[in-house]
Amino acid sequence: MPRRSSDVDDHRVTGLRNRLEPAARVVPDLGLWACLVLPWITGVVPFWVHLAYIFVALSAFDRPENRRVAARVAVVAGVGGTALLVVPADAGAPIQDLLEIPALGALALLFAAFARRRTRTEQDILRDRTRLARLIDGIPLAVIAFDGEARVATWNSCAELLFGWRAEEVIGRSNPIVTADQRDESNELFARIATGERLRGVEVTRRARDGSTLELALYSAPIGGEGALVLYDDIRERKRAERERDQAQHRFRELIEALPLVTYIDHVDEHATNVYTSPQVVDLLGWRLGDWQDDPHFFEKLLHPDDRERVMGEVVQANEGTGLFDSEYRLRHQDGHYVWVRDRSAILDDGGSEEPSARGFLLDITQQKRLEAQLLQSQKMDALGQFAGGIAHDFNNLLTGIGGYADLAAGATEPESVVARCLDGIRTAAGEAASLTSRLLAFSRRNVPERALVDVNAIVREAASLLERLVRADLRVNLELAPTLPAVAADLAQLKQVVLNLALNARDAMTDGGTLTIETSHVADSVVLRVRDTGVGMDAATRSRALEPFFTTKPEGQGTGLGLSVVYGVIDALGGRLSIDSAVGLGTIVEIALPASEGIVGEADEPERAAPAGGAGRVLVVEDRDVVRNLARDVLESSGFDVVAVAGGREALAAFAADAPFNLLLTDVVMPEMSGPELAHQLRGDRPALPVLYMSGYTDDVLDPHELSHEATAFLRKPFGNADLIAAVHSVLDGRGNHANGGLPAPRAEPRYV
């Protein structure tokens, strides 16, 4: 085991004492005896007696047997003094001098007492030094004491183990653990200690004997202004743990900040005062991170007014109850709009080390809410469309009966009679009602678009007349129409809806009044329709989303976001193009370009012709509505056909099997129990070439386009006129069917009741 510095000191002291002890015992005794004998020989008493005082002092300070020495001195002095009393007077020794000799004994005892006290003090100091050395050696830190010249004075066993040098190798030398590049730092620290500064936990790096680098925490205190006591704590394990902790925290922070949500820590109080919020909140809401900690009421202030009372109540309830919080609400973005978030948190207690806190996350669900609103709106629109389509379907059946019977009645009256004029009015009203149902079906998207050559100027004028009743008094409508304009092939009802949607959007953009201008022009091979307003305009972000379905800038509940998307769908289907030019504060221009047609408006309509004088053949009429079924039977029978009319598919199958073969199946498309296509498919199982004429107000996805591609198949749209019915029947029976039009219903503008 290596020796300590204190052991070295004790060894030196003990060796010196052992060498001096024999001399210390012999020399004083011999000197004292000589001083007491020489007065007999020389007769000079004072000199030798005074010299004896010196040897008494030397004997008294001898250790550790000073008591025995003092006793010997006292005996010798007593014997010698008594003997000197008999010295002849002629020896020249005054009696008072001789009397000093017995006093030597008392003086020896006095010196012995002082020597005893000194011996005890030295022993106490030695014990204290030994105890202190053991205490320093027992400190679980490397302890190094330096003298005023920064040389090592003490080097404990922990220092030996930590640095690798033994005590005798470094005591009296400069500190070996300081490298050349660390010398300036070490001198600076020693200078600070020398001024009386106490260092606490100063982190330094030092070198061990094997060359390894040690990470240490330094503690120091000055020693009487002539040195310093320095303790070194090995903090390598702590530093390694700190680095691992920092790395784990860094990885955790990176993970937290990479999540597509905002994490937070709040105090458990009624205001949900924020402690920490992850940086994603800046991207989500725009507010800087400090805003959340600076104002204890910041969260409450950002809540949407309609959500504030509910959410803060849920916060209080969670704090007082289970500690679980799950809510959806809106927070105000820095730019003023609101963001939907889902907030989930739980109250966690760190075992008493900190106050309980609510820890959770915010997830942006704005898009989800928008999709939910769009789905709800779509469902509402679909329900409304179904309702409108159902009304239109039933209304078409009624209009078919009204117009058809008006035709039959008109054929039995005088042309110029009052009854004829009344019937003509009925047929005109039925035609206008048919146009209305066509629009309802277009709204419900259950109609098959009917393309015909239309005049865009006429559509704009009609829309302008309607707008006069829809715009406010502070809006002015200008029409700048080209004098001559080619026709375009389009669905009349759809194109009217396009113009009306654009005009209404322009109206809504001019909240403070303005001018709405609708222009038409002929550019190259296109008919251009331009709708311009002087409203608020759109920024680039709004302009880029203007055509998205359900996107709207109007307040919640005031717009569906379908206007421009429907316009775009119609124009795209017609082979046209749509562009938007807008800037904030400068209004908006929507421009539509449609392919021009060389035809003349109205030429797509079939020429008026009278019903054929007569017909031949058996027709099976299948229609669940009595008025239409009876009308079809009466019209066809009046034209010479043999007609069997039934109300449904099962009756039709029975009639088809019981009676003579039929030449034509005239059937409604949508019927209870069995649809028209299902009936035709069963009947054609026995007679594949059976001619079929479908009639319906809308197909409702029941009529497969493949059905209409059959050579002996045609489609007749309700409401239809009597002439239309007879013409369609003859067309199918003559083998012309509907295949020439690609399986789509023959185009027409309005039903003809003649």
Which position has the higher pLDDT, 711 or 14?
A: 711
pLDDT of 613-635, one tens digit each? Answer: 456 789 999 999 888 899 899 88
Is the pLDDT assigned to residue 11 strictly greater than 50? no
How far apart (Å, rounded) are the C-alpha atoms in residues 34 and 52?
9
pLDDT of 556-588, one tens digit each? Answer: 555 556 667 778 778 887 889 888 888 888 889
pLDDT bin (cut points 50, 70, 90) of residue 80 is low
Could you give the percent of the chain with pLDDT greater than 90? 19
Q: Among 5-14, 345-354, 431-440, name the one with the lowest average pLDDT.
A: 5-14
Q: Among 320-329, 407-416, 472-481, name the one with the lowest average pLDDT.
A: 407-416
Which position has the higher pLDDT, 677 or 63?
A: 677
718: which DSSP letter? S
Q: Which is nearest to 347 in space by CA: 367, 366, 321?
A: 321
pLDDT bin (cut points 50, 70, 90) of residue 17 is low
Listed in order, strand segments (DSSP E) in 661-700 are: 664-668, 692-696
pLDDT of residue 607: 40
pLDDT of residue 42: 62
Is the pLDDT assigned to residue 665 strictly greater than 90? yes
> Do 165 and 158 form a contact (C-beta atoms < 8 A)?
no
Indicate the class that CATH gives domain 456-595.
Answer: alpha beta
Question: Order of strands across the sheet with 514-523?
Answer: 475-480, 514-523, 526-533, 588-595, 577-582
**Stretch 480-506: mean pLDDT:** 86
**Stretch 164-174: mean pLDDT:** 90
> Do 209 and 165 form a contact (C-beta atoms < 8 A)?
yes
How far is CA 305 from its chain centroid? 23
How far apart (Å, rounded) are the C-alpha atoms in residues 43 and 33?
15
CA distances from residue 448 to 396, 442, 445, 700, 724 in whole angstroms, order as listed? 15, 8, 8, 9, 18
Query: DSSP string spanning 452-494?
Result: EEE-HHHHHHHHHHHHTTTS-TTEEEEEE--SS--BEEEEHHH
**Stretch 513-531: mean pLDDT:** 90
pLDDT bin (cut points 50, 70, 90) of residue 1 is very low
Helix (H, G, I), strand (E, B) or coil at 276: strand
Highest-pLDDT range among 271-280, 643-652, 655-664: 643-652
> Do 62 and 106 form a contact (C-beta atoms < 8 A)?
no
pLDDT bin (cut points 50, 70, 90) of residue 645 is very high
Tokens read off for 365: 């669900």
Which position has the higher pLDDT, 305 or 467?
A: 305
pLDDT bin (cut points 50, 70, 90) of residue 381 is low
pLDDT of residue 163: 92
CATH superfamily, region 259-364:
PAS domain (3.30.450.20)
**Stretch 672-700: mean pLDDT:** 86
Domain ranges in the chain? 5-134, 144-239, 259-364, 456-595, 618-741
Region of 391 (left: φ > 0; alpha: ψ -120 to 50; beta: rest) is: alpha
CA distances from residue 621 to 625, 630, 648, 695, 746 in whole angstroms, order as listed? 11, 9, 9, 10, 21
pLDDT of residue 610: 43
> Do 434 and 750 form a contact (C-beta atoms < 8 A)?
yes
pLDDT bin (cut points 50, 70, 90) of residue 375 is confident
How far apart (Å, rounded) are the C-alpha atoms in residues 499 and 507?
12
pLDDT of 128-165, one tens digit each? Answer: 777 877 888 878 899 998 888 888 988 998 999 999 99
pLDDT bin (cut points 50, 70, 90) of residue 664 is very high
> Do 747 and 451 form a contact (C-beta atoms < 8 A)?
yes
How far apart (Å, rounded) are the C-alpha atoms in residues 663 and 657?
14
Helix (H, G, I), strand (E, B) or coil at 318: helix
Tokens read off for 540: 């680039």
Judge if 144-239 and 259-364 fold alike in CATH terms: yes
pLDDT of residue 271: 74
**Stretch 688-697: mean pLDDT:** 88
pLDDT of residue 613: 46
Q: Which is nearest to 734 in space by CA: 714, 754, 708, 704?
A: 714
Could you give the percent of the chain with pLDDT greater than 70? 72
Is the pLDDT assigned to residue 288 strictly greater than 50? yes
pLDDT of residue 90: 47
**Stretch 266-292: mean pLDDT:** 85
**Average pLDDT of the residues of the chain:** 77
Q: Among 34-38, 170-174, 522-526, 530-534, name the one with the lowest average pLDDT.
A: 34-38
Does 144-239 carry CATH code 3.40.190.80? no
- Sequence-separated (6 or more) residues with CB below 8 Å from residue 485: 455, 456, 457, 520, 521, 522, 527
Is the pLDDT assigned to residue 676 strictly greater than 60? yes
Is the pLDDT assigned to residue 40 strictly greater than 70? no
Q: Among 150-154, 221-225, 736-740, name the one with the lowest average pLDDT.
A: 736-740
- Measured between its terminal Cα atoms, the distance across the chain in Å is 131
* Residue listed under structure tokens 């019981």: 658
pLDDT of residue 22: 56
Helix axes 5-42, 66-84, angle to 10 degrees: 10
Does 618-741 carry CATH code 3.40.50.2300? yes
pLDDT of residue 468: 72
How far apart (Å, rounded) are the C-alpha atoms in residues 661 and 657?
8
pLDDT bin (cut points 50, 70, 90) of residue 95 is low
- Sequence-separated (6 or more) residues with CB below 8 Å from residue 248: none
**Stretch 349-378: mean pLDDT:** 79
pTM of the model: 0.50
How far apart (Å, rounded) are the C-alpha atoms in residues 623 and 725?
14
pLDDT of residue 750: 43
> Do 505 and 563 form a contact (C-beta atoms < 8 A)?
yes
Tokens read off for 318: 């969670």
